[in-house]
Amino acid sequence: MNVKIINPFVEASMAVVQTVINVKPKLGKLSTRSEVFTSQSINVMIGLTGDAQGVILFSLGDEVAKHITSTMLGQEIKEFDQLALSAIAELGNMISGQSLMILSKSGAKCDITPPTVIQGKDIRASTLDVPSVVIPLTIEDIGLYEITVSIK
């Protein structure tokens, strides 16, 4: 997996998060994982098809999710209901869409699937032999939002 594919996701994540919640996130150090492991409680999974094939995973904790969705919905979210979940899933969708827009400039033709939301604690997911790159975004006063890109 090369930098040409990862950079659009980094760029898109930063730009969309900033647009959606009006806070510029801080980009942490990218890391690689041969197995996807997340201990975050809320995960949005979006499939990537076409010239690049794989999975994009957006992970965050309950409190971070509540903060983000409160901003997105313009009201305080105390309980994580269907509407809040939908907002978090849509954030993942928008980041994916923008990543593809940037990617398409280099000629890559890709598509994404509708999102799947997985909630729980200490979820362990494996993409088997497909390597993953983790893009960590820290949103000031809110917390960590991780984007894991796993492409064959």
Partner 1 sequence: MAKRILITDDALFMRVTLKNILTQNGYEICGEAANGKESLDKYKELKPDLVTMDITMPEMDGITALKEIKAFDPNAKVIMCTAMGQKNMVIEAVQAGAKDFIVKPFEPDRVIQAVGKQLAS
Q: Which residues bind partner 1 (CB under 8 A)?
A: 16, 19-20, 72-73, 82-83, 86-87, 89-90, 93-94, 96-98, 100-101, 104, 109, 111-114
Minimum separation from the CB atom of position 8 to partner 1 (A): 11
What SS3 string covers the chain? CCHHHHHHHHHHHHHHHHHHHCCCCEECCCEEECCCECCCCEEEEEEEEECCCEEEEEEECHHHHHHHHHHHHCCCCCCCCHHHHHHHHHHHHHHHHHHHHHHHCCCCCEEECCCEEEECCCCECCCCCCCEEEEEEEECCCEEEEEEEEEC
Q: Judged by CB, which is closer to partner 1: 38, or 98?
A: 98
Q: Judged by CB, which is closer to partner 1: 83, or 121?
A: 83
Q: Judged by CB, which is closer to partner 1: 114, or 124?
A: 114
Minimum separation from the CB atom of position 96 to partner 1 (A): 7
Minimum separation from the CB atom of position 39 to partner 1 (A): 25
d(CA 127, CA 80): 28
- The structure tokens 């990543």 sit at 99
Minimum separation from the CB atom of position 122 to partner 1 (A): 27
Minimum separation from the CB atom of position 35 to partner 1 (A): 28
Q: Judged by CB, which is closer to partner 1: 113, or 119?
A: 113
Q: Judged by CB, which is closer to partner 1: 77, or 151?
A: 77
